[in-house]
Amino acid sequence: MLITTTEDIGKKYNVIGLVMGNTVRARHIGRDITAGLRSIKGGEIKGYSEMLSEAREEAIQRMTTDAKGKGADAIVSVRLTTAQTMQGAAEVLAYGTAVKTGKK
């Protein structure tokens, strides 16, 4: 399935509608300790980077599943957002417009 942040994919398509996928991830106490130490020294907090990367991939996969369930073969205008849902937890949301290009 084609997934793109642009609206133009070089061919005509029929819009199916909004699709989305999300996940909520919580911090791990071990990561918090490492993050606290890293904030003193400076640098990347790899544990958090990995957690957010995995969360983005999961949200995109869930959005793709939503699109396939609606008969789409592409998703255009994809966006990702993050939000803190509670202390120590964040939501990653992927959303876009499901389309059908007619390509088999």
Query: Which domains can be identified in the chain, with CATH numbers?
Result: 2-26+57-100 (3.30.110.70)
List of the chain residues with pLDDT < 50:
none
pLDDT score for 26: 81
pLDDT score for 37: 54
pLDDT score for 19: 98
The whole-model pTM stands at 0.82
Dist CA 83 CA 4 (whole Å): 22
